[in-house]
Amino acid sequence: MTQLKRAGVLAGVALAILFAGYIWGNWGRRNADRKLARATALLALSDARRNALAGSVDLYKLNFGAAATHFETARATADRARGLLGDAGSSADKSDLSTAITSLDEARALAAKLDQGAGQKAASAITLLDKAADAP
């Protein structure tokens, strides 16, 4: 009977050690996951900004087809960044990102119509993307 008690105590100690190790291992995981999501969202925002700027440069070169492609890529990337910022719990204004996505979509449509006004839409979208990236 004493061996059974000893085995029970050892099993209880082993379970307590395993539980403590699990708690210790997960202690900062949630915060680290949130920081990773924020970094991924900021990377997506900078990629969207890069594509919008590339589209603006293409407009100055009168390469409207490439500009439309860059604006479409920027819009898709900004839309993905909006979801990532939501996952990261960012305080970035969602309406700013929605407006930036709409501006990029309008810039793409204007570039497809060979309209130089696409540059102004892209510039306003870039400003809004910068504002979203600067939010804590």
Q: How far is CA 90 from CA 19, 81, 127, in A?
A: 32, 11, 18
- Look up residue 128 and give its two tokens: 């809004």
Domain boundaries, the chain: 32-134
Pinpoint the alpha helices (H) of 26-63: 29-60
pLDDT digits (tens, 9 = 90+) for 85-122: 877 777 666 788 889 999 999 999 999 998 888 999 99
Rounded (5°) CA angle 127-130-136: 140
pLDDT digits (tens, 9 = 90+) for 28-76: 788 888 888 888 988 999 999 999 999 999 999 989 999 999 999 999 9
CATH number of the domain at 32-134, out of 3.40.50.620, 3.30.450.20, 1.20.120.660, 3.40.50.720?
A: 1.20.120.660
Return all residues near 53 (Cβ < 8 A) that are at least 6 apart: 122, 126
